[in-house]
A = this chain, B = another copy of it.
Amino acid sequence: MSGAATILLVDDHAIVREGYRALLQQQPRLKVVAEASDGAEAYRLFKQVKPDLVIMDLTMPGFGGLEAIKRIRQWDPAARILVFTMHQNAAFAVQAIRAGAKGYVTKSSPPEALVRAAFDILQGKIALSADIDHELALSRVTETPVATDVLTPREFEILRLLLAEKSTEAIAAILGLSPKTVANTRYLIKAKLGVASDIALVLVALRQGILGAEGERDEIAPL
């Protein structure tokens, strides 16, 4: 870190990247040296340019931010990654930090927050923006556990299929289980997440980031 710190910028919106770059370039000690628009490209570029810091969004097409964080950290356990996203959501932050991110700043933060977080991380600190600090604190007191903590892998799997609009029977067929087992598990999931209806289930899943963080969208009709 002799001269300026090198930065890899990852966001799927070119326009958005443009803005951040302008913002960051105002800092003489920061230098954006590469940009990527999805997780795969981010991983590839990271290995190539070895930036001092990665600033990236979570929600991207293809394989998303979380996956990219994990892969990058696997390749270089010392990688410093700052998540910069619109999601003011404790669950996302927890997942990101666990995946190996060193910071989480929301786009609602004042512009300085991003710059400050960048410097903090470069100095080895963990950086969270104020709103996420608050969300995390709240999630502590209200004790809404992140789904991945409370659900077993199998339950998680079934939940994912449910959110893909699969019926209980379809899931049974896919996993080679009795429909009864799936129905039971489905009940268990709802109990664990503390919801009563299917509708609440989807909404909770949304907030928890099970759905929505990655590109879930069922494929567009091929025409």
* Residues in chain A within 8 A of chain B (CB atoms): 12-16, 18-20, 22-23, 86, 107-111, 114, 138, 141-142, 162-163, 165, 167, 196-203, 206, 220-221, 223
Contact = CB atoms under 8 A, between A and B. Distances in A.
Contacts of A196: 167
Given A19-B19, A23-B19, A221-B138, A14 B163 contact: no
B22 A18 contact: yes
Contacts of A203: 163, 165, 202
Contacts of A201: 199
Contact of A19 (B16, B167, B223): B16
Contacts of A20: 15, 19
Q: Which 10 A-B pairs have the closest CB atoms?
A: A19-B19, A198-B198, A202-B202, A13-B107, A22-B22, A165-B200, A15-B111, A198-B199, A199-B202, A15-B107
Interface SS of A by simple majority: helix
Nearest to A113: B15
A107 B142 CA distance: 35
Q: Report the copy number of this chain in the oligomer.
A: 2
Contact of A18 (B12, B14, B23, B141): B23
**Which of A13, A163, A196, A221 has the most CB atoms of chain B within a 10 A radius of its CB?**
A13
A21 to B, nearest CB: 8
Contacts of A86: 13
A199 B162 contact: yes
B221 A108 contact: no
**Which of A15, A142, A206, A223 has the most CB atoms of chain B within a 10 A radius of its CB?**
A15
A201 B107 CA distance: 30
**Which of A142, A165, A198 has the most CB atoms of chain B within a 10 A radius of its CB?**
A165
11 contacts: A14-B108, A15-B19, A15-B20, A15-B110, A16-B19, A138-B220, A138-B223, A165-B199, A197-B198, A199-B201, A202-B202
A14 B19 CA distance: 11
Contacts of A200: 165
A105 to B, nearest CB: 9
